[in-house]
Amino acid sequence: MAAITTSDPYIDQYLFERQFARFKSHVVDESGREFFSFTSNPYTDKEEGYKYVVYQEGRTTLSFDKWREADIGDGKILTSVIAAIELKGSNLLKWQGRWGETSNCCFACIALMTTARFSKAWSGSSAKSIQSYPIFSS
């Protein structure tokens, strides 16, 4: 079998159908209702519905509709991106740094904020203090 690339993913239809049937059976066992969609089933909505809230909070926090060309390079956009990722209660991205500071998906962005170019913008931002990140608290 040739290597799978992102341009040609392969999903074994038999295995997919088998696992999907197991999933639907589990949902029925938990909720007593057939699975039609994540939002229409009380069990899947309870387990996965928070993602819609996180998505909306992320978009609001990102506030990309307020970005201006003049904001490029001053840290405002980068600060918004980090804040939108680091939403309380979100587990959609690994930003908590549980497996070391470099495991934080924002590691490169946070490191960039410490450069001289962004230090002034960071100090004036509403994002949490750079010193609160373990990688910079030495």
Q: Cα–Cα distance between 136 and 138 in angstroms, integer?
A: 6
Q: What is the pTM of this model?
A: 0.56
List the domain range (segments joined by +) for residue 112. Answer: 74-133
Together in a domain, 94 and 123: yes
Domains in the chain, number: 2
Residue pLDDT, tens place only, 17-62: 999 999 999 999 999 999 999 889 999 999 888 888 888 988 998 8
Together in a domain, 38 and 80: no
